[in-house]
């Protein structure tokens, strides 16, 4: 008889909703991937790297030219220099980076503070390492962090505090005050921060991304995790990275080497070329802000109420004017009766009421958004 290590964890909601979208022929605004292609030059760069013979194992920590490009980029954008030789680990997507990092840091009996709604990978990884997730719930409509709530749950057993900015699924973005509050909490703990920053280049309305790397007192005991899939519209290529001080980075690498060992070297080299060419990824934020604004204009006159979206490529919509159904029921009816797939908020929460809110991905072609909006106007 097999005893499950994750007995309460089922198949990811993202897989479930994409499968249902396919089954019902629904427009898929659920799982966070674009329905348009990446830059042809990026594909050409990967092909060129393959033709040049970069088809065997890459170095375990990542291809040197990519680690150097990332080191330069992070220093330019956020002011901190990570040693490309010992402080950057290239991983199989940000999720593997999170898995390797939390597995390296969390021991049985440790507590890990998670700000929920939270990406659904955080909690299970903590549990697999014998740790205890401790949840702080962010409240709508703006989902700002109440740092007094965080202070109340931090104890001598707190090993890690996980933060995510820009925040999936809510679109909330940390500001300087948030980072000052976090720094103050850390002063009385031995905790390490794990900062999920995969949407770092998707911050809207004149705001800037406040990376943990910008704050030395936090960065000295933090792992900053990001990836390339969101920035370059290549979510299926699954390459991310962890940046951390040498001692922490060494522990992350110890785990990483036994999870994937190394990731696709040809793609790493192509990404390095693009990071070198445009380290700020300056076109990404206006591109997705235009997508957000278009989607919001298209659903004007519907009974959905948009919540603030300051970053990411997700828009939260309140459906309380339409139905008092639970989000898991309403989202299924939206697929079967109206042909639009979204993500309910409840899978991002533990023991908290999600409210009448769904998450919609606007990383889609304009025509896809128009078709989806036409259907949402009829709900």
Percentage of the chain modeled with pLDDT above 90: 92
- What confidence tens digit (pLDDT) does each residue in 267-316 have? 999 999 999 999 999 999 999 999 999 999 999 999 999 999 999 999 99
DSSP state of 323: -
- Angle, CA 44 vertex, CA 261 and CA 61 arms, to 5°: 20
Q: Do residues 171 and 73 share a domain?
A: yes
Q: Do residues 181 and 293 share a domain?
A: no
Instruction: Please tell me the distance from the alpha carbon of residue 158 to that of residue 67, in angstroms, as a whole number.
Output: 31
- Whether residue 40 is contained in a domain is answered as no
- Whether residue 146 is contained in a domain is answered as yes
Q: Which of 125, 175, 122, 169 is nearest to 145 (CA)?
A: 175
Q: Do residues 135 and 260 share a domain?
A: yes
Instruction: Please tell me the distance from the alpha carbon of residue 73 to that of residue 67, in angstroms, as a whole number.
Output: 10
Quickly state the pLDDT bin for 14 (edges 50, 70, 90): confident
- Whether residue 65 is contained in a domain is answered as yes
**How many CB atoms within 10 Å of residue 305?**
16
Exposed/middle/buried for 20, CB within 10 Å: 0-12, 13-18, 19+? middle
- Whether residue 261 is contained in a domain is answered as yes
- What confidence tens digit (pLDDT) does each residue in 333-363 have? 999 999 999 999 999 999 999 999 999 999 9
Look up the CATH number of the domain holding residue 130.
3.40.640.10
Q: Rounded to the nearest 10 degrees, how much is the dihedral formed by the CA atoms of 264, 193, 14, 265?
A: 0
- What confidence tens digit (pLDDT) does each residue in 36-76 have? 999 999 999 999 999 999 999 999 999 999 999 999 999 99
- What confidence tens digit (pLDDT) does each residue in 207-238 have? 999 999 999 999 999 999 999 999 999 999 99
Residue 11 pLDDT greater than 80, yes or no: no
Instruction: Please tell me the distance from the alpha carbon of residue 222 to that of residue 160, in angstroms, as a whole number.
Output: 9
Where does a domain end: 277, 300, 332? 277
- What confidence tens digit (pLDDT) does each residue in 20-43 have? 888 889 999 998 999 999 999 999
Quickly state the pLDDT bin for 8 (edges 50, 70, 90): confident
Q: Do residues 369 and 245 share a domain?
A: no
- Whether residue 47 is contained in a domain is answered as no
Q: Do residues 260 and 236 share a domain?
A: yes
Q: Do residues 273 and 287 share a domain?
A: no
Where does a domain end: 222, 254, 277? 277
Looking at the DSSP bridge assignments, the partners of residue 48 are none
- Whether residue 42 is contained in a domain is answered as no
Tokens describing residue 211:
């990376």
Where does a domain end: 277, 296, 313? 277
- What confidence tens digit (pLDDT) does each residue in 133-165 have? 999 999 999 999 999 999 999 999 999 999 999
Exposed/middle/buried for 161, CB within 10 Å: 0-12, 13-18, 19+? buried
Mean pLDDT of the chain: 96
Helices assigned H by DSSP within 260-347: 265-277, 284-298, 327-338
Q: What is the pLDDT of residue 22?
A: 85
Number of domains in the chain: 2
Q: What is the pLDDT of residue 15?
A: 81
- Whether residue 348 is contained in a domain is answered as yes
Q: Do residues 220 and 343 share a domain?
A: no
Look up the CATH number of the domain holding residue 302.
3.90.1150.10
- pTM summary value: 0.96
Q: Do residues 222 and 331 share a domain?
A: no
Q: Do residues 152 and 169 share a domain?
A: yes
**How many CB atoms within 10 Å of residue 251?**
17
Q: What is the pLDDT of residue 13?
A: 79
Number of residues in the chain:
379
Q: What is the pLDDT of residue 212?
A: 98
Q: Do residues 297 and 262 share a domain?
A: no
Please compute, for residue 369, the number of CA atoms within 13 A of its CA located in the half-sphere on the CB side: 24
Q: What is the pLDDT of residue 24?
A: 84
- Angle, CA 200 vertex, CA 199 and CA 204 arms, to 5°: 85
**Helix, strand, coil fractions of the chain, as percent rounded to 5:** 40, 15, 45
First to last CA, the chain: 47
Measured CA distances, 183 to 74, 135, 139, 214 (Å): 20, 19, 22, 12
Q: Residue 89 sits in which domain range?
A: 56-277
Give residue for tokens 């933090």: 222
| Residues 73 and 66: beta-carbon distance below 8 Å | no
| Residues 276 and 84: beta-carbon distance below 8 Å | no
**172-194 average pLDDT score:** 97
**How many CB atoms within 10 Å of residue 93?**
22
- Whether residue 49 is contained in a domain is answered as no
Q: What is the pLDDT of residue 34?
A: 96
Q: What is the pLDDT of residue 352?
A: 94
In three-state secondary structure terms, 99 is helix
Q: Do residues 346 and 365 share a domain?
A: yes
Q: Do residues 251 and 105 share a domain?
A: yes
């Amino acid at each position: 008889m097999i005893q499950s290590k994750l007995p309460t964890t089922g198949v990811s909601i993202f897989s479930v909703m994409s499968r249902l979208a396919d089954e019902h022929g629904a427009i898929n605004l659920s799982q966070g991937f674009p329905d348009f292609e990446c830059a042809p030059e990026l594909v050409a760069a990967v092909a060129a790297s393959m033709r040049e013979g970069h088809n065997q194992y890459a170095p375990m920590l990542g291809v040197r030219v990519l680690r150097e490009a990332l080191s330069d980029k992070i220093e330019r954008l956020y002011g901190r220099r990570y040693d490309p030789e010992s402080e950057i680990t290239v991983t199989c997507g940000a999720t593997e980076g999170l898995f390797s990092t939390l597995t390296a840091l969390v021991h049985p009996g440790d507590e890990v503070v998670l700000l929920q709604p939270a990406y659904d990978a955080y909690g299970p990884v903590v549990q697999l390492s014998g740790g205890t997730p401790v949840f702080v719930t962010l409240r709508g409509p703006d989902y700002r962090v109440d740092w007094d709530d965080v202070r109340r749950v931090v104890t001598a057993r707190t090993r890690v505090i996980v933060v995510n900015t820009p925040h999936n699924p809510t679109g909330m973005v940390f500001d300087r005050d948030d980072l000052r509050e976090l720094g103050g909490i850390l002063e009385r703990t031995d905790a390490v921060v794990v900062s999920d920053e995969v949407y770092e280049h998707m911050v809207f309305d004149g705001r800037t991304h406040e990376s943990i790397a910008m704050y030395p007192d936090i960065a000295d005991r933090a792992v900053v995790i990001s990836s390339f899939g969101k920035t370059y519209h290549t979510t299926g290529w699954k390459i991310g990275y962890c940046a951390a001080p040498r001692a922490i980075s060494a522990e992350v690498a110890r785990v990483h080497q036994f999870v994937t060992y190394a990731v696709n070297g040809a793609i790493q080299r192509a990404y390095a070329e693009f990071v070198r060419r445009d380290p700020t990824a300056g076109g990404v934020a206006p591109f997705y802000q235009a997508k957000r604004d278009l989607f919001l204009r298209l659903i004007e006159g519907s009974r959905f109420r948009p919540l603030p979206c300051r970053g990411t490529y997700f828009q939260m919509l309140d459906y309380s004017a339409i139905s008092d159904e639970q989000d898991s029921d309403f989202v299924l009816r939206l697929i079967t009766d109206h042909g639009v797939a979204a993500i309910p908020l409840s899978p991002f929460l533990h023991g908290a009421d999600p409210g009448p809110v769904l998450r919609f991905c606007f990383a889609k072609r304009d025509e896809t958004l128009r078709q989806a909006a036409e259907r949402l106007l009829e709900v």
